[in-house]
Amino acid sequence: MRIVALGGIGEIGRNMTVFEFDGKLLIVDCGVLFPEDHQPGINVILPDFSYIRERLDDVVAVVLTHGHEDHIGGIPYLLRERADIPLIGSRLTLAFIEAKLKEHRITPKTIQVKEGDRRTIEGFDLEFVAVNHSIPDSLAVAIRTAAGMVLHTGDFKMDQFPLDRRITDLGAFARLGAEGVDLFLTDSTNADVPGFTTSEKDLAPAIDAVFRTAPRRIIVSSFASHIHRIQQIIDTAHRHKRKVAFVGRSMVRNMTIAADLGYLNIPQGLLVDFRKLERSDDHKVVLICTGSQGEPMAALSRMANKDHAIRIAEGDTVLLASSLIPGNENAIYGIINALTEIGANVVHKGNAKVHVSGHASAGELAYCYNIVKPRNVMPVHGEWRHLRANSEIAVSTGVDPRNVVIAQDGVTVDLARGRATLSGKVDAGLVFVDGDSVGGITEEDLRERRRLAEEGVVTVLAIIDPDNGDIVEPPEFFTKGFSCSNEDLDKAGAAVEKALRDASSNRQGGRKQDPEEIIERATATWMRRFYNRQPVVTAIVVDA
């Protein structure tokens, strides 16, 4: 069996792993990665499908471990390339992806499974195992083939007191371990965190304290898929006799699905439209919205920027019921500062116990290794520090260091005769979604965007005699995001005129240079020399 991660290794997001056996391909998850500050204008980042693009007919199914965006967000883009790839997942996971695909006008072929189910699809024998995570209905998957058995945990933790009472099925892990797990793909996100992840129920006192002491409205920001956390907020609001409204399209959509399927319990009369809350007393209002990661178009960001129908006022309490995803720190702290400036009391993980992770810490991972006793280990879902920490835990529990494989996105891992080895590499770069464009933006384009943002733009308009190449009038300069005095622009214009004269006198018998190229080079050189800046320079040449 060949295993290729096209995303999710060395990063938090973009999870997608391809399993190849006997000429057929099975995919586990297909998620997105959210952009960082150095990727301006990008909506999301996809896995690179080029490895499977010529073999889409060989894909037998996509197994979805749970309904978070970093595991299902890339599905609409994959199904654009082949719409009838079967999607296998739990009831809630499929409901979330079907709602997402409806917006893309795609009707998927789905196969609903639950923990304990076993399905065989063209050489892949799949068994599904319940795992606890920060979203209901999460599943691990055991993949059996004639080449051996792989156990993929998906995202998981070992909360012994989950709100939905659905714990990670360690009994199934032990049974699979007794059968013989040849390769164990394990969630690495919290591998460098000692001990065990705090239980969800332990957040109740801190959340209750927020509701007990808040004098005015409470605005709660959370992931639109974090049903457990939102259930806690709803239960606490009910006890404190506050009405609740959902704000944000994805929040309304996901919570409606969760409530309709019975995963979210909303007491009768508690939920109202947020527009009706304007007539309610402030101390009886709770708003639950998106934007916990500082997303610029999400509801909380717009509220902080005073660009939303809901206006946060002095005395309001904002509860950020989420952790910081690496790379989002600046955006989140920017929102916290903006809300604090308005006069809101901002409660977050840094100053109160209002969030716990959905991922297993080091103690839980060690526990799993001792139960499963895998022959080979391949840490997934994490940055390099997480992957390395996970591998060290595996070794400390008795796994042979030679059998711990730390791969990269695109590295092929072959499982044969009970041994996993690195065997090669395929393309697995970042694919940027920029508005409606997929894959059109390159790293070079992003460098240009960063330069535009950091250095500004200078446009030079020159009127030139096409017969002799002489400039007819002094060039005009137009600047955006770049400050320059008129006197200095006159000097820059003189430099441009000199460069054109020099090029004209030196071109006898030589290659004729484009005047645009001469003007841009001369302007850029002058700006760098006298301003120590490198704005983007564009020349427009008009024939006299």
Assigned domain for 422 exists: yes
19 and 167 fall within a common domain:
yes
50 and 160 fall within a common domain:
yes
Catalytic member of 182, 187, 235, 409? 187
Question: Residues comprising the binding site for Zn(2+)?
Answer: 66, 68, 70-71, 133, 155, 381
Q: What is the pLDDT of residue 306?
A: 85
Domain boundary among 318, 347, 376: 347
Assigned domain for 450 exists: no
Assigned domain for 121 exists: yes
Domain boundary among 405, 438, 471: 438
Instruction: List the domain range (segments joined by +) for residue 502.
Output: 456-543
16 and 141 fall within a common domain:
yes
Q: How far is the C-alpha of 465 from the C-alpha of 542, rounded, in Å? A: 9
Q: What is the pLDDT of residue 336?
A: 85
Catalytic member of 308, 348, 359, 386? 359
Whether 208 is catalytic is: no
Q: How far is the C-alpha of 93 from the C-alpha of 64, rounded, in Å? A: 7
404 and 477 fall within a common domain:
no
Residue 478's CATH number:
3.10.20.580
Assigned domain for 451 exists: no
Nearest to 190 by CA among 29, 389, 463: 389
Which amino acid would we find at residue 243?
Answer: K
H/E run at residue 474: none
Q: What is the pLDDT of residue 295?
A: 65
Residue 412's CATH number:
3.60.15.10
217 and 305 fall within a common domain:
yes
Q: How far is the C-alpha of 527 from the C-alpha of 529, rounded, in Å? A: 6
50 and 177 fall within a common domain:
yes
Assigned domain for 480 exists: yes
8 and 153 fall within a common domain:
yes
Residue 217's CATH number:
3.40.50.10710
229 and 315 fall within a common domain:
yes
First to last CA, the chain: 69
β-pair partners for 412: 4, 424
65 and 166 fall within a common domain:
yes
Question: Residues comprising the binding site for substrate?
Answer: 224-226, 355-359
Nearest to 245 by CA among 227, 265, 228, 269: 269
Whether 359 is catalytic is: yes
**pLDDT tens column, 57-100:** 999 999 999 999 999 999 999 999 999 999 999 999 999 999 99
Render the burial of 301-322: b for 16+ CB within 10 Å, e for the rest: bbbbeeebebebeeebbbbbbb
Question: Residues comprising the binding site?
Answer: 41, 66, 68, 70-71, 133, 155, 224-226, 355-359, 381, 434
Question: Residues comprising the binding site for Ca(2+)?
Answer: 41, 434
Q: What is the pLDDT of residue 326?
A: 59
Q: What is the pLDDT of residue 298?
A: 75
The Cα-based distances of 503 to 463, 473, 516, 518, 537 in angstroms read 16, 17, 12, 8, 19
Residue 318 φ then ψ, to 5° = -110, 120
The Cβ of residue 359 has, within 10 Å, a number of other Cβ atoms equal to 24
Domain boundary among 383, 410, 438: 438
Assigned domain for 443 exists: no
Tokens of 348: 């977050």
Q: What is the pLDDT along the chain (544 residues), one digit of tens a residue?
A: 999 999 999 998 999 999 999 999 999 999 999 888 788 888 889 999 999 999 999 999 999 999 999 999 999 999 999 999 999 999 999 999 999 999 899 999 999 999 999 999 999 999 999 999 999 999 999 999 999 999 999 999 999 999 889 999 999 999 999 999 999 999 999 999 999 998 988 888 989 999 999 999 999 988 888 898 899 999 999 999 999 999 888 899 999 999 999 999 999 989 988 777 777 788 888 999 887 665 656 778 888 888 888 888 899 999 988 766 655 667 778 888 888 999 999 888 777 777 788 999 999 999 999 999 999 999 999 999 999 999 999 999 999 999 999 999 999 999 999 999 999 999 999 999 998 888 889 999 999 899 888 888 999 998 888 777 778 888 889 988 888 888 888 888 888 888 888 877 765 555 667 888 889 999 999 989 988 888 999 999 888 7
β-pair partners for 150: 143, 183
Assigned domain for 254 exists: yes
Q: Does pTM top 0.85 for this prediction? A: yes
273 and 408 fall within a common domain:
no
169 and 273 fall within a common domain:
no
Tell whether the torsion through CA atoms of 257, 259, 263 and 264 is positive or negative.
positive
270 and 134 fall within a common domain:
no
DSSP state, 44? E
Q: How many domains does the chain have?
A: 3
Q: How far is the C-alpha of 542 from the C-alpha of 540, rounded, in Å? A: 7
Assigned domain for 352 exists: no
**pLDDT tens column, 443-487:** 999 998 998 888 889 999 988 887 777 788 888 899 888 888 888
